[in-house]
Copies of this chain bind each other. A is one copy, B any other.
Amino acid sequence: MKKIIILTLVSAFVFIACNQSGQQKQPEVNKRDIVLSNIHSRKSVRNFVEGKTIPKEDLETLLKAGMAAPSAVNLQPWHFVVIDNRADLDSLSTKLPYAKMLTKASAAIIVCGDSAIKAGDMAFWEFDCSLVSANILLAAEAMGLGAVWTAVHPDPSRIEFVKQHLQLPDNIIPLNVIPIGYPTGEDKSKDKFKAERIHYNKW
């Protein structure tokens, strides 16, 4: 009887003790560190694992992240063309010298701006669509996908080729083509911090 009481007390003591240490061991979810490390680990991914399909829900998650971007006077002057078939990915690559990796990408998002939408006499679609693209690139990194901004605008011949290929209305300008896929791991992020680029209060 006495032995059972001692056993029970010891067990209880050990249980409480190691449960508290267990709580201390639990990692704290740190939004700040996770978001900052995602920003720093994002890289331009140009090498993709071939033959893998990105679920449509994941492509829509990227577009939802894109549409969460700020825009001048909240005009949201953006449209998206998603390329999710091999033939169009390959044919787009033929006349886009910096988008050859489309032939290995699983999909692509073309971020387009509506040049007819203006705030007063100023158009902000180039900035707004750049912010949209930043969200897409950062979301892709967080989702284990790889992506890279390949420029279309302001190159007239690339704009014309993409507009014709996608049958875009005159006022819709393709800013970039963002090939998306599963990274092979060859592409690495760069440390681009330069203290000399920072000025305080005056140049």
Contacts and interface: CB of A to CB of B under 8 A. Distances in A.
A2 to B, nearest CB: 10
A36 B61 contact: yes
A85 B201 contact: yes
B34 A35 contact: yes
A20 to B, nearest CB: 10
A68 B168 contact: no
Nearest to A81: B199
Contacts of A197: 63, 67, 76, 78-80
Given A14-B11, A200-B82, A202-B166, A29 B34 contact: yes
A173 to B, nearest CB: 12
B36 A38 contact: no
Contacts of A26: 22, 25-27
Interface in A52-89: 60-61, 63-65, 67-70, 72, 74, 76, 78-85, 88
Nearest to A17: B15
Nearest to A150: B72
A38 B137 CA distance: 14
The 8 A-B residue pairs with the shortest CB-CB distance, nearest first, are: A22-B22, A134-B134, A130-B130, A35-B142, A26-B26, A81-B199, A14-B14, A34-B34
